Structure 1
């Protein structure tokens, strides 16, 4: 076959036209894919490169005593956050942060993974940084795209009183609880009330997080505010007033300093708690932010158990209060004439055992009224022998022994009212005697 020069030129021209058409077709398809099919994805990326969402943490409410003195307030601290999308897997950024924050790269990466909330949302990797660290971060900002610092309110304790078991403490929310309450605005890394009134009144003390939108440049530096309808102002938590009197609390804490024990002072007319002390205790300032694992382990492993609230968690014999239960049982069930007397010689004999009165010289003859006034053990030893143990236990429960007080402090333990089944379980059937009843009646 023979081709003329004109035919060859025409063929080349057609091939060129077809090639150009194909290239433009590919370009058109790609533009369609970018602008139509994947528009939302790239729009989000573009927006994230230009607009940054700044989380504004809301301070918790202030806790006051009954006289308006501040027990727990707030103070500011600087935290370090990073944007996962901007940092990516840039090893140089992690290495530089490790040196500045004095944290291993592994720890930083673990915190990013643990507190991850999305590619474009800040993740807290360090808190309460000092001024030197803050300055170095600012000086090296161009080397740390996607890394920022933020101001956050944490708990402060200006009072001389510790009140550690009353106040409780804050703790970083764990994944189990986060799954339950995440719909209420909580997120990974948040501090929540974990014990004491901080826990009991979490929904009152906790504020509502705000959000601010700012414009940033290619280096991640803030260059201006963005007026976005999605911006929300942070709302402070509500304040809380306790019935505690700080002056009285401090006085009792000083009395128990270096000792083990518990003291509660109540207003007998209203039931208000004016002071509550459990010793040993701990400084609530240890929990002002995220507590270090070393501090937490020291508290947990301390043989004196400073985290244990001896007031609400301890169960103790109630003492002579149980005599009132026996007296009421006798009066209600007409077991013994209240005017009948029992001679107290300082000891009560049961078989070969001696059960002593607190007054070893004895009280002399006592009726029910005298026995209550003088808290005479011997009178009530005699009385309890006439009372069926299960009947006495029934009246003890009418006094609400063996029940929770429903005090607004988490983790309260309920006591035990011993009846026949309790003693049978403890000592075995027939393993207990009248002597056990005598010990019970004096508490």
Structure 2
């Protein structure tokens, strides 16, 4: 028993004596590790300290892009129709570390050196500027009722602050208004993006003062901007279209489309017509720069990566000098129609010229008018988006259809010139007295503009059943038959011109409320007094007759290229090739019937010829005139009774008659029928003579 206790004591003494040894071993290992760590830190500090410090302060970088000048548009002689005018601008580039306090400070400082006159800050912009001041913001926050603050609802608190400031009805000085506008512009800028603070009406004094104080204005710079210019006049601007401002930015209706195609929200884009149609080419390729920022967020360096590529250049088919002459003539002749009382109710006038062999548009002119205010504006675009009932000018297509479909032939095309008597309606006849002609052939019918001939041709064509004064019966396909024929010449359908916004015309009703075909209206359609067509459709139609049966697609952009850096040369990348949309299946003798009729309209000897006043014009003109009954529509009194009766006056033609180089269409809608005169003939004469003066060779 004693022996056992002694043994236990001996073991305890051994354990106690071994403990210090293990502790010493562990402490030794820890010491070695710490020594190694300290040595490594010292090594890194001494050997690599500067490198690590550079890494800590190393710049972050981002690639930003900037707009380039928009593409230039030239006329067919190389004259600039639409260019870019450079102008000075004050810019701002927002850094990563910019705070609201910075924005407020910069806005106030910069407003000491520039004044924005063409804008007024909105009430919201004034409130935002006021709250941009830290002291104002704290004061207004303290005034928020405790009940609202207790909710801890940021939206309610902010709304309360806004209402408090709004109730103050703040009044700002001119300088403060400018500061508020600047605050709004730069606070809304994207980080590292460059915006224009002022790019309109910047004076030399403002540039100089801002330049002297750039060190006090972080992010502010002096740069250049551009705006569209029209050195050869703006008469065609309604065709060219417009470009949005940087303030307006991307159109809201197509916002997602532009954003997915790499645009920024404040990018300027074409918003109408040629500017919109060729936007992907005109915009060019943005320049890109690599912006480096320090760890504190300040911009350290901006390095150009790609200088960008200016937008593509468009060469138009239009001659600037000829365009000016056509617009000038239209304005003068239309003014004389207004002065004489003939155009008292008229809402405009339109003229278009085309190369009948290629479809190239040579001139596009238009006038819109408010009859009540007698105010006129340029509206060349009306040539493609305004439709009118054109009257007898379309009879060439009607006769052509009769010949092509063998309803009549070049040797058998005589029809009795007897009026059409429908039950319960007035007599349907021509302008000349009943009995003037016993019968007419097709060419003479065109010469004297016989409505009777066209109606009888239509009845024969659709196999109508007709008993004078008793009844008329037509198949339900009658309208389709006649309209399909007009469509062959481009009447009643879009021509495909390279401009957005073209309409196909206006088609009248085919059936009444009981589902019965409007037989009388079929007859009206045959001589041009029912459906409405656009001026560009009319010039395409007459070009088809002039060139021998090729319906050419009209176009206004001849070629696309790149302008040299000095702006003196265009390198062409693409040339438009004429496009034949349809070949009319005429025989030469069938075509000759129509051409003879068009020649005799101007040069014939019959006293009922309608365009003899231009028979002496050189080179010779062939064509067809027309008048269509219409009425004055008062938008302020749409239900007016007995509106004034008016006529649309038209003329389509081509010259020279034997080898056409130019085709024209002129429309003067809404003239007084008693004072109609010969305005369309005067306009046609001016267009032909001016064209051949410019192109004598």
Query: Partner residue of 2:21?
Result: none
Q: Is the 8 A contact 1:165 1:277 kept in 2?
A: no
Query: Partner residue of 2:115?
Result: 101
Aligned residues: 372
Match of 2:521 among 433, 436, 439: 436
Tell me, in whole angstroms, the C-alpha distance in 1 between the residues paired with 2:413 and 2:498.
44
Does residue 88 (structure 1) correspond to residue 99 (structure 2)? The answer is yes
Does residue 401 (structure 1) correspond to residue 411 (structure 2)? The answer is no
Q: How has the CA–CA distance of structure 1 residues 121 and 141 changed in structure 2, closer, same or farther, with 3 Å as cutoff?
A: same
Query: Partner residue of 1:309?
Result: 381
Q: Is the 8 A contact 1:193 1:199 kept in 2?
A: yes
CA RMSD of superposed structures (Å): 4.0
Does residue 58 (structure 1) correspond to residue 68 (structure 2)? The answer is yes
Q: Is the 8 A contact 1:401 1:416 kept in 2?
A: no
Q: Is the 8 A contact 1:81 1:122 kept in 2?
A: yes
Tell me, in whole angstroms, the C-alpha distance in 1 between the residues paired with 2:409 and 2:240.
49
Give 5+ residue unaligned stretches, structure 1.
1-20, 282-301
Query: Partner residue of 1:279?
Result: 367
Give 5+ residue unaligned stretches, structure 2.
1-33, 46-50, 120-176, 335-347, 463-477, 529-697
Tell me, in whole angstroms, the C-alpha distance in 1 between the residues paired with 2:351 and 2:487.
24
In structure 2, the residue corresponding to 1:153 is in which secondary structure?
Answer: strand
Deviation of 1:349 (Å): 4.4
Task: Provide the TM-score with structure 1 as the length reference.
Answer: 0.70
Mapping of residues 212-251 of structure 1, within 5 Å: 212=289, 228=303, 231-251=305-325
Deviation of 1:155 (Å): 1.7
Q: Write the deviation string for residues 189-233 of structure 1: whole angstroms up to 9, x where unpaired.
A: 22112222222222222222224569999xxx999x87x5x6211
The structure with more radius of gyration: 2
Query: Partner residue of 1:187?
Result: 264
Q: Write the deviation string for residues 343-368 of structure 1: whole angstroms up to 9, x where unpaired.
A: 548x6544451334244584553112
Query: Partner residue of 2:280?
Result: 203
Task: Provide the TM-score with structure 2 as the length reference.
Answer: 0.47
Mapping of residues 14-413 of structure 1, within 5 Å: 43-44=58-59, 57-85=67-95, 87-90=98-101, 91-98=104-111, 100-102=114-116, 104=177, 105-112=179-186, 116-117=189-190, 119-131=191-203, 132-171=205-244, 172-174=249-251, 177-182=254-259, 184-212=261-289, 228=303, 231-257=305-331, 259=334, 260-280=348-368, 309-335=381-407, 339-344=412-417, 349-351=421-423, 352-359=425-432, 362=436, 365-386=439-460, 387=462, 388-413=478-503
Q: Is the 8 A contact 1:325 1:392 kept in 2?
A: no
Q: Is the 8 A contact 1:161 1:246 kept in 2?
A: no
In structure 1, the residue corresponding to 2:331 is in which secondary structure?
Answer: coil
Q: Is the 8 A contact 2:367 2:378 kept in 1?
A: yes
Tell me, in whole angstroms, the C-alpha distance in 2 between the residues paired with 1:337 and 1:307.
42
Q: Is the 8 A contact 1:385 1:434 kept in 2?
A: no
Deviation of 1:264 (Å): 0.7
Q: How has the CA–CA distance of structure 1 residues 113 and 432 changed in structure 2, closer, same or farther, with 3 Å as cutoff?
A: farther
Q: Is the 8 A contact 1:401 1:417 kept in 2?
A: no
Q: How has the CA–CA distance of structure 1 residues 315 and 373 changed in structure 2, closer, same or farther, with 3 Å as cutoff?
A: same
Deviation of 1:308 (Å): 8.3
In structure 2, the residue corresponding to 1:180 is in which secondary structure?
Answer: helix
Q: Write the deviation string for residues 114-164 of structure 1: whole angstroms up to 9, x where unpaired.
A: 5x33x2222333322422332332233343222223112322211035201
Tell me, in whole angstroms, the C-alpha distance in 2 between the residues paired with 1:209 and 1:151.
15
Tell me, in whole angstroms, the C-alpha distance in 2 between the residues paired with 1:398 and 1:378.
23
Does residue 423 (structure 1) correspond to residue 510 (structure 2)? The answer is yes
Q: Is the 8 A contact 2:367 2:379 kept in 1?
A: no
